[in-house]
Structure 1
């Protein structure tokens, strides 16, 4: 085939792709549906011109179109890794974890149910062997999100709905292709009745092998990116190689799922990349991958559509009945999972609630696309598959794909409209009205100043001011007409706006490099949860999200368990250092939110709402300060090191700004500017490094770290180390209650506690003790002690404590000091008379 003609055809396809997007927007149809229609028309036109006697002038072009090297491997090895990898890079993974149960149910369970449902339904109504029927079921069980998500974004559908569908489609490709490989093997071996138990037992092996290989490939790529951190193009080149090497290595070397390998590699890079790759290079990498995925997605659709006329050759009337059976079986299987299994899991508190309109949209939005056609093409290309099976696989898979695209795809927008998912909630409508009113008032003031500055014609200004004033008055009337909005809803609106502004501030700080890229994702996730919490739960939802942002999660408990039981400190060190930086970033952002409340929210929602928001903000700041105090007490000096790091990075940002301003003023040339920026980048790389945090503990060394035991000799210190008992307490748990019996003295090895007695509160950190007052004093006032950080305590029984108190002057001095702080006579406390039992 002439390479010139091939290049011309491919270039023409890019023109078709360019024209399809505005055409889809004008016709209000999904972009992929337009591509599929155009591809079918091009394929039909090429076939027509080759078979007609009207003209031979277009025959070379038609031959080039129909002779394009479109094989299943082109889709699976060239286009699919690009689409999967970009999808994982663009996902907010931590938000998806909130809905991981419904996503996994739809991505794995729904695929298996659809495969079995379609397979057994076909085996009952056709003469195909069961293995071939299950193969068709696996082929049609994978969904394509591109058409659905594009519709959702165009009509501002709920973000959660888009996240669920994107997460499902990302993972169900892997599940469907893994099942396809299993049943394809049975068909080629001529096994009409496959052993489903053996097939399903192989399924986890394919998944696990792909996940491990993808993770290893991503870790290697991240290591290379770190080495090439000063070269953006090198970083992007490594990222382009990653999905293909992961896919090929997993498929050809390990024999596992290449799709899972690509997904695992993308997830790993998504989570670890922002902290290891410079922010500018990471943003550039995302833009490049968005473009690559757009081209790959468009080409895979239009090339797959070119095959549809060929795949439908020889279609019979009975085939339409089988297509109808597949449609009914696939929709029924999806409905059972969505309306049967998911509500059951919610009832058992194993899954978050998914609203009924969401489930209906997900049901009708299960469109099939290029992956289904590519798998069907792989079957038709195989020489080991019977001819009749190949014919039916091509026709049934293609027919079902056309049904989902041309019927479900074209009606999905109206279905979403009927479900009310394209309309703003009453709260959002109220917010939009108030925002318009305030914005127009600000614009009017700005326009008035502009007309004065430029001395515009008085008549023009007056006519335009009149028209603008009428619009402003209408907006004010609409807002006043909505005065029936409850104060509770106004508070919700204010909290949503406050959390949104907090998110914008975080993004600005990341661009300025005041907040590190490593912390950007975590802090943005916290802001997103605040927005979602306020939107769904109002004030209480916002407060729950705020508490969650400073709480110790399951990861801390697992890391603490590894540290205590196995001696593996790395995860706990990393999580603790992350928590330090995260809390400092939160404090940095929260301190500036009061100006937004006073300046913006007060104007929109009034004084009462603003005052309440200031009160809630004050509580959040107090929570963050308490959490920081706990860490400072636990690890003295580390917070100060992080604050010094923040000051150094801020100074570098100011320095960069000055160099840029001087360069723009023409005071220095490009050579000098480049040299200065290179030196600045080198110093910034050093400033990005986080100070080490080390809290490994050994009994003897730990005892020696306590100032209380500074005067003990080595023999006594070792004996004391053997007598001390370890006790670990999670943050928020009570160590001692006011009505409890104190049987020993507690020494804080790591962590921090809050002691409350007689209306007063003290915070104690590493190296301090509590419980001694209750043991030594008659009629001691009981205190409640609560851990404010994961805390490791060393407990000494009261008999050994009294014996040690007689030997150690340092311990007596500490007891005396603590008694004086609490207004207790230290001489009475340290007398030799024993306390009442």
Structure 2
């Protein structure tokens, strides 16, 4: 085919892609539906002009269109890795993990249920072998959620809902294509009734092999990118190669799922690259992949739609009945998941609640698209599949795709409107009126200042002021009519606004590079959790999300056990260092939120709500300070290093701002500015790497480091190391309760604790002890001791502690100092033979 014609066709397709988006917005239809319609029209037009006698002038163009090398492998090996890889790079993995139950349910369980339902329904309604029916079921079980996600975003639906659908789309294709590969093999081998148990037994290798391949290649890619840290274009080139090598390596070498390999590679890059690459490189990479995925998604829709007229050329009347069977079975299977299993899991507290209107929207928004057509095309291309099965698979998959695009796609927005998802709630409506009133008052003040600064005509000023005043009076009247919003609702709306402003502050800090790219996703995830918590559960949801942001979760406890049981210090050290940096970032951000409350929120919601929000903010700051203090007590030197690093980064940001201002003012030229920025970037790269944190614990070595045991000889230290027992406690756990019997003394090996007694509070850190007062006085404990950080304690029973006290002057001096600090006479605690020494 002539290269000129091919280039012209491809350029024309990009022109159509550019026109499709504004056309979809004007017609209020999903973008994918417009692309599919354009593709069908082009394909049908090409066939028409080749078969008609009206004119031969367009025959070369029609032949070129129909002769495009559109094969299933083009979709699966070129376009699909691009779409999957970009989706994983744009994911907020922390928030995805919060909804992993509904995501896996829709992505994996729903695919299996749809495959089986459609397969057995077709087997009952037709004479096709069961393997062919299950193959069709696997083909039509893939969904394209882009339409419903875009509509949810346009109506400000909960982010969690869009996140669930996006997560489904990521894993949905992997599950469906894996099932497709299994049943395609049975059809080509001529197996009429497959053993489903045997087929599903091959799943683990498809998943695990693909995941390992993707992880390994992504780790290698990150290592190579880190070597190219000064060459952004080289890093982008490596990222382009990664998904395709992962897909081909898994499919052709490992015999595993290429889709899983691409997903695993993208997730690995998403988790590891922000901490290894410069922030600007990571931002450029995500922007590049956004553009590539947009083009790939559009091209795959148009090119696949070009094939629809060809696939439907041999359609028969009975095929319409079978398409109806597929439609009913697929929708019924999805209904079982959305209205049966998902509410059951919500009742059992295994999944967040998804409200009924949103479940209806998800049901009707389960459009099929290019992946379904690509898989059907793969069947029609295979010479090992019988001709009769090729024809039916192509027609049923294409017919079902057309139904979802033409019927569901065109009616999705009216369905969402009927469900009321596009209307503001009464609270939001009342809030919008108040916001308009406050905003117009501010605008009037600013306009008044502007007219004073410029010599404007008084007649124009008076007429515009009168016109603006009438609008303001109407807004104020409407706001007064809706002033009966409950304080509880005002607090909820204020918290949502506060969390939204917190997200804006985070983005601003990331752009200024005050917060590292490594921490950006985590602090943004916290802000989104706060928004969702406030939106769904009000003040309680906000506070619960705030507590989770500083709590030690299950991943930390897993790493702690790996360290304690197997001596693996690396994972624990990295997570502890991340926590250090995260808390420092949170403290920085929270201190910027007070003026927003006193300004915007006070004007919109009033003084009472603003004061309450200030109190909640103060509690968050106190919780962050407490958690940070616990880490400082545990690793004092490391906290200082991180704070120095923050100061240096802030200084570099201010220095960069000065250089930009001088360039903009014309004080320095572009060449000088470039040279200055090169030196600044070199200094910035030098401080980007975070200092290492050593959390390794060896009991005897640790005992040697205790200042309290400094005067013991080597033999005594070894005996003491054998006598001490190790006790691990989590943050917030009560170690000693008041009035409990005193039988042991604890030495803090790592972590920090808080003692509360008689209305006073003390905090102790690494190298200090507690419990000695109660043991020596032989009375019940008067203090409650609580861990404020994950803490490792070395515990010594009462008898051994008394013997140790007799041998160690350093320990006796520590007891005396502790007693004096609490106003207790040391001679009343130490035995006579000990007190006198």
Tell me whether the two structures share a fold, i.e. TM-score over 0.5: yes
CA contact (8 A) 2:700 2:718 kept: yes
Cα offset for 1:697?
1.8
Unaligned runs of 5+ in 2: none
Q: TM-score normalized by structure 2?
A: 0.98
Instruction: Kindly provide the CA deviation profile for residues 310-355 of structure 1, in whole angstroms up to 9, marking residues without a partner as x.
Output: 0001110000000000001101111111111112222222222222
Match of 1:216? 216
Match of 1:429? 429
Cα offset for 1:152?
2.1
Per the alignment, in what secondary structure is the counterpart of residue 637 of structure 1? helix
Match of 1:709? 709
Cα offset for 1:402?
0.2
Q: Structure 2 matches for 1:139-150, cutoff 5 A?
A: 139-150=139-150
1:773 matches 2:773: yes
Match of 2:341? 341
Q: Structure 2 matches for 1:111-190, cutoff 5 A?
A: 111-190=111-190
Match of 1:796? 796
Cα offset for 1:434?
2.3
- Separation in structure 2 between the aligned mates of residue 374 and residue 436 of structure 1, nearest angstrom: 50
Cα offset for 1:275?
1.9
Cα offset for 1:671?
2.6
Moved more, 345-354 or 252-261: 345-354
Match of 1:652? 652
Moved more, 114-123 or 471-480: 471-480
Match of 2:258? 258
1:442 matches 2:466: no
Q: Structure 2 matches for 1:293-308, cutoff 5 A?
A: 293-308=293-308
Q: Structure 2 matches for 1:339-738, cutoff 5 A?
A: 339-738=339-738
Q: Structure 2 matches for 1:808-823, cutoff 5 A?
A: 808-823=808-823
Cα offset for 1:14?
1.4
CA contact (8 A) 1:776 1:834 kept: no
Match of 1:46? 46
- Separation in structure 1 between the aligned mates of residue 619 and residue 158 of structure 2, nearest angstrom: 30
CA contact (8 A) 2:742 2:779 kept: no
Match of 1:321? 321
- Separation in structure 1 between the aligned mates of residue 556 and residue 749 of structure 2, nearest angstrom: 17
Instruction: Kindly provide the CA deviation profile for residues 516-574 of structure 1, in whole angstroms up to 9, marking residues without a partner as x.
Output: 11111111111111111111111111111111111001011001101111111111111
Cα offset for 1:834?
12
CA contact (8 A) 1:158 1:421 kept: no
Unaligned runs of 5+ in 1: none
Cα offset for 1:673?
2.0
Per the alignment, in what secondary structure is the counterpart of residue 307 of structure 2? helix
- Separation in structure 2 between the aligned mates of residue 34 and residue 695 of structure 1, nearest angstrom: 57
- Separation in structure 2 between the aligned mates of residue 413 and residue 187 of structure 1, nearest angstrom: 39
CA contact (8 A) 1:36 1:305 kept: yes
Cα offset for 1:430?
3.0
Instruction: Kindly provide the CA deviation profile for residues 196-219 of structure 1, in whole angstroms up to 9, marking residues without a partner as x.
Output: 111101112101111111111111
CA contact (8 A) 2:740 2:781 kept: no
CA contact (8 A) 1:757 1:781 kept: no
1:19/1:637 Cα in 2 relative to 1: closer, same or farther (>3 Å)? Answer: same
Cα offset for 1:606?
1.0
Per the alignment, in what secondary structure is the counterpart of residue 613 of structure 1? helix
- Separation in structure 2 between the aligned mates of residue 790 and residue 100 of structure 1, nearest angstrom: 27
- Separation in structure 1 between the aligned mates of residue 147 and residue 498 of structure 2, nearest angstrom: 33
1:539/1:772 Cα in 2 relative to 1: closer, same or farther (>3 Å)? Answer: same
Per the alignment, in what secondary structure is the counterpart of residue 508 of structure 1? helix
CA contact (8 A) 1:773 1:780 kept: no
- Separation in structure 2 between the aligned mates of residue 430 and residue 587 of structure 1, nearest angstrom: 33
Cα offset for 1:780?
5.6
Moved more, 218-227 or 249-258: 218-227
CA contact (8 A) 1:492 1:538 kept: yes
Cα offset for 1:109?
0.5
CA contact (8 A) 1:380 1:391 kept: yes
Moved more, 716-725 or 85-94: 85-94
- Separation in structure 2 between the aligned mates of residue 504 and residue 626 of structure 1, nearest angstrom: 25
Instruction: Kindly provide the CA deviation profile for residues 421-466 of structure 1, in whole angstroms up to 9, marking residues without a partner as x.
Output: 2222333323322222222211111111111112111111111112
Cα offset for 1:743?
0.7
Cα offset for 1:32?
0.9
Per the alignment, in what secondary structure is the counterpart of residue 99 of structure 2? helix
Equivalences, count? 835
1:5/1:778 Cα in 2 relative to 1: closer, same or farther (>3 Å)? Answer: closer
CA contact (8 A) 1:577 1:693 kept: yes
Match of 2:332? 332
Q: Structure 2 matches for 1:19-98, cutoff 5 A?
A: 19-98=19-98
Cα offset for 1:778?
4.9
Q: Structure 2 matches for 1:733-748, cutoff 5 A?
A: 733-748=733-748
Per the alignment, in what secondary structure is the counterpart of residue 756 of structure 1? strand
Match of 2:270? 270
CA contact (8 A) 2:111 2:172 kept: yes
Cα offset for 1:833?
9.2
Per the alignment, in what secondary structure is the counterpart of residue 763 of structure 1? strand
CA contact (8 A) 2:753 2:786 kept: yes
CA contact (8 A) 1:39 1:302 kept: yes
Cα offset for 1:779?
4.1
Cα offset for 1:665?
2.6
- Separation in structure 2 between the aligned mates of residue 153 and residue 555 of structure 1, nearest angstrom: 31
Per the alignment, in what secondary structure is the counterpart of residue 447 of structure 2? helix
Cα offset for 1:273?
2.0
Cα offset for 1:595?
1.3
- Separation in structure 2 between the aligned mates of residue 167 and residue 287 of structure 1, nearest angstrom: 20
Cα offset for 1:781?
5.3
Cα offset for 1:155?
2.8
- Separation in structure 2 between the aligned mates of residue 139 and residue 193 of structure 1, nearest angstrom: 18
- Separation in structure 1 between the aligned mates of residue 446 and residue 623 of structure 2, nearest angstrom: 39
1:240 matches 2:240: yes
Q: TM-score normalized by structure 1?
A: 0.98
- Separation in structure 2 between the aligned mates of residue 463 and residue 182 of structure 1, nearest angstrom: 76
- Separation in structure 1 between the aligned mates of residue 283 and residue 451 of structure 2, nearest angstrom: 40
- Separation in structure 1 between the aligned mates of residue 238 and residue 470 of structure 2, nearest angstrom: 57
Instruction: Kindly provide the CA deviation profile for residues 622-649 of structure 1, in whole angstroms up to 9, marking residues without a partner as x.
Output: 1111111111111122111111000011
- Separation in structure 1 between the aligned mates of residue 461 and residue 315 of structure 2, nearest angstrom: 70
Instruction: Kindly provide the CA deviation profile for residues 126-157 of structure 1, in whole angstroms up to 9, marking residues without a partner as x.
Output: 11111111100000000012222222223333
CA contact (8 A) 1:5 1:64 kept: yes
Per the alignment, in what secondary structure is the counterpart of residue 209 of structure 2? helix
- Separation in structure 2 between the aligned mates of residue 607 and residue 373 of structure 1, nearest angstrom: 59
Moved more, 470-479 or 764-773: 470-479
Instruction: Kindly provide the CA deviation profile for residues 335-392 of structure 1, in whole angstroms up to 9, marking residues without a partner as x.
Output: 1111111122222222222221221111111110000000000000000100000000
- Separation in structure 2 between the aligned mates of residue 10 and residue 708 of structure 1, nearest angstrom: 77
Moved more, 55-64 or 263-272: 263-272
- Separation in structure 1 between the aligned mates of residue 431 and residue 684 of structure 2, nearest angstrom: 42
